[in-house]
Amino acid sequence: MHAKPAQFGLAQRTPRIPRGEWQLVLPLGALFLVFFVLPLGLLFLISLFSDASMTRLGLNQYVEMFSSALSVQILRDTLWLGVQSTVVCAVLGFPLALAYCRASPRWQPLLIFLIILPQLTSAVVRTFAWIVILGREGIVNSTLMQLGIIADPLSLLYTNFGVVLALAQIQLPLMVLPLINTLMRIEPNVIEASTVLGAGAFRTFWKITLPLSTPGLIAGSLLVFTTSVGAFVTQSVIGGGRLMYMPEYIYQLSIGAQNWPFAAAMTMFLLVTVLLTVVLFTWLGRKSMKHVEA
């Protein structure tokens, strides 16, 4: 970025672009050090104590976590929940993003409004809505009973299906927005060329549209997965007492049982999972970028 030579010799010294002063980062850096970096470091240290009163060091918490049937099940259920909600969001979000990009400019503002509004509504409010929908007297049960399909109300709340559905609604915008962003950048001629050359619509989608939009798909999946495994409110309210996932278990261990080392070890597992997901998806993203460029 070289400055163009000044005309008329007004400024002999090449004007420098006033760069942001690096010192401006200090206040935020200090805040992050005290309220983010140090606490997370301490969390790791606490996870290394073998007893709840924190007197002896050892890896007991991690051994306990991977050997107790309850905690292994919670870890597995939480990760599986993340995978399920990511897949649902991708399967529903991709068509929605495609529909948005094809919609006439008159409809686009309304569509984007409908996509963004839920994301800006409180997670508690959205979770509450699903209680109304899935509850014993909710719309699903009353419709099915009126149609005579079922005699007694189904219990849809406190089921894995209910949690996945509620999570899908809450996380869908996180998938759709990055997808719209990448889909809008694909040259329409590429898709036209494919159709002109005789590739069918499905083939064009699999061979052209999908590969070209992988960066958006990866960015969206990363956000959906990481927020789904950490979604405290939806998991605890729709899951109820019957289903337990990592965030609520961590809350009960730390605040209820006051077992800090075990809660810390569980949180470390959640953090490492998320970190590994980021590494995996970034790697996939790089690969797909090369693929796109090639």
Partner 1 sequence: MDRMEQRAFDAVVRVLAGIALLILTAPTVIVIITSFTDGNTLKFPPSSYSLRWYVELLESTQLQRVTIRSLWIAAIATLVATVLGTAAALAIARSKAGWARALDALFMSPLIVPWIAIGLSILMFLNLMGVPLSPFTLIAGHVIICIPFVMRTTIASLLQLPASLLESSASLGAGKFYSFRRITLPLISRGIGAGAFLSFIASFDNVPISLFLADARSQVLPIRMWQMLQADLDVRVASISAVLIVLTLIVMTVMERMVGLSRQMVR
C-beta closer to partner 1: residue 19 or 290: 19
CB of 96 vs partner 1, minimal distance in Å? 4
C-beta closer to partner 1: residue 241 or 294: 241
Counting residues that bind partner 1 (by CB under 8 A) gives: 107
Q: Which stretch binds partner 1 (CB under 8 A): 57-65, 69-77, 231-239, 285-293?
A: 231-239
Please, which residues have CB within 8 angstroms of residue 49's CB and are 6 or more apart in sequence? Answer: 55, 56, 57, 58, 61, 260, 261
User: Site for partner 1 (CB under 8 A): which residue of 5, 9, 18, 148?
Assistant: 18
Q: Quick count: other Cβ atoms within 10 Å of Cβ 137?
A: 9
Say how many Å lie between the first and final Cα of the chain, rounded.
Answer: 27
C-beta closer to partner 1: residue 27 or 105: 27
Does position 190 bind partner 1 by CB under 8 A? no
Report the number of secondary-structure helices (H) and strands (E) in the chain: 15, 0
Interface with partner 1 in residues 59-88 (CB under 8 A)? none
Amino acid identity of residue 184, one-letter, is M
Does position 217 bind partner 1 by CB under 8 A? no
Give which of 226, 117, 116 is closest to 180, Cα–Cα. Answer: 116
Give which of 291, 135, 265, 126 is closest to 211, Cα–Cα. Answer: 291
Return d(Cα 260, Cα 266) in angstroms, integer: 10
Q: Which stretch binds partner 1 (CB under 8 A): 68-76, 111-119, 148-156, 283-291?
A: 111-119
Interface with partner 1 in residues 148-187 (CB under 8 A)? 165, 168-169, 172-173, 176-177, 180-181, 184
